[in-house]
Amino acid sequence: MREFSSGLDGDLELESVVWAEIGDVVQPSTEDRVDDVKRALAACGEEGQAFIDELDLLLPQLIVGWSAYASQRVQHVAVRDGDPQTVARVTALLRSLSDFLWRHNSVGLKTGEMNNISFASTAPGPQLLLDAASSRALPRKKWRVGVIVPGGEAARSDIAELEDHPELECSLRTVYRSSANFAAQMSSALAAFKSDQDAIVIAYGGGSKDNLAKVHAALEPHLEGLEVPCWVAVGHASDPMSVENLAVRVCRTPSDARTLFLAETVQYEQRLGMILATGTRSLENGAKSVGSGSSIERALKELEDEVMDARRMHLQHRG
């Protein structure tokens, strides 16, 4: 049994386990593998039952996968958000299980012996890679976004990229500023979108102070308690709007609302998927897990920094 890991300086370290080397998950499934191990342990009497009890305690925190290493099948175990003590406990259990089942080879595993290489590691690294490996073939779920505009060509041009985007299902509601029952129509539009949309974009461009005040008065009571993520812009960058709700992004202009929405949703997901798929492929192709782990962490940090930069650029700043 070998473990690969890295110290704080990035050097290879063979005593403590920090990062797991992950490849494509192959058969048997996690459930088949765990059931097979527990069946073999149950055939070994009280000593085997003690291992089952320990395994059952730890299973809710574990991600179990198999892949290929050279000509051998390799078992990987990742610990979801585990502290160092839990990782050490899982590592010790893997070693003990391997030794125990090796000594009791008369009750062999149907899914393949527990030998060669086993890993225990902390998430999110292995979790992210396993998610990427298992989801690459799945179609991306489209964001359903409800868009509220005031009517007019300028308003539609501000959000045209959302209507035409291939990864969005865009529902448009026009609430005219000149409407006598403007507040009621705005309330109805928001209520409809709260029940069936993943996100809301509200894009109201310039106008007179009286018109802007009417939009603010109609929106603010709803925005304070809104639970659906919302990107809103009313007026120009110089027209302040204060909403104390973390689910609501108050943007400088309608174009800023459109751009930040895309940056924080579909574009973020695209970049994240590319980072994870690239990391997974490098591990599948035999890259050392230490280097791949650090490169993934670096790419994820760069992605987070880009989102923060987009927020600084497009959000309305309080004076």
pTM of the model: 0.56
Lowest-confidence pick of 30-44, 187-201, 270-284: 270-284
CA 216 to CA 290: how far, in whole Å?
A: 52
Lowest-confidence pick of 90-99, 111-120, 148-157, 217-226: 111-120
CA 10 to CA 291: how far, in whole Å?
A: 8
Residue type, 244: E
Confidence grade of residue 261 (pLDDT, cut at 50, 70, 90): very high
- Average pLDDT on 7-20 reads 45
Is residue 269 classed as helix, strand or coil in its secondary structure?
A: helix
Q: Give residues with Cβ within 8 angstroms of 89, minimum separation 6.
A: 58
Q: Give residues with Cβ within 8 angstroms of 171, minimum separation 6.
A: 144, 145, 146, 147, 193, 197
Tokens of 163: 């209507």
- Report the C-alpha dihedral over residues 296, 127, 32, 105, rounded to 10 degrees: 70
User: For the chain, what is the total number of helices (H) and then of strands (E)?
Assistant: 11, 10
Q: Give residues with Cβ within 8 angstroms of 118, minimum separation 6.
A: 1, 74, 75, 76, 77, 94, 95, 98
pLDDT of residue 63: 66
Q: Which of 27-36, 113-122, 203-212, 222-231 tops mean pLDDT? A: 222-231
Report residue 33 CA to chain centroid gap. Answer: 26
CA-based Rg of the chain, rounded to a whole angstrom? 26
308 within 8 A of 242, measured Cβ to Cβ: no
pLDDT of residue 314: 92
- Average pLDDT on 152-178 reads 86
- Average pLDDT on 243-263 reads 89
CA 72 to CA 185: how far, in whole Å?
A: 65
Confidence grade of residue 201 (pLDDT, cut at 50, 70, 90): very high
Q: Which of 15-29, 125-139, 264-278 tops mean pLDDT? A: 264-278
Helices 30-42 and 84-103: crossing angle in degrees, nearest 10, is 60
CA 123 to CA 19: how far, in whole Å?
A: 8
* Mean pLDDT (the chain, rounded): 75
Torsion sign over Cα 267, 269, 273, 279: positive
Is residue 167 classed as helix, strand or coil in its secondary structure?
A: coil
Sheet arrangement for strand 199-204: 168-174, 143-149, 199-204, 230-234, 248-250
DSSP state of 59: G
For the chain, list the domains and their CATH numbers: 5-137 (no CATH), 143-264 (3.40.50.261)
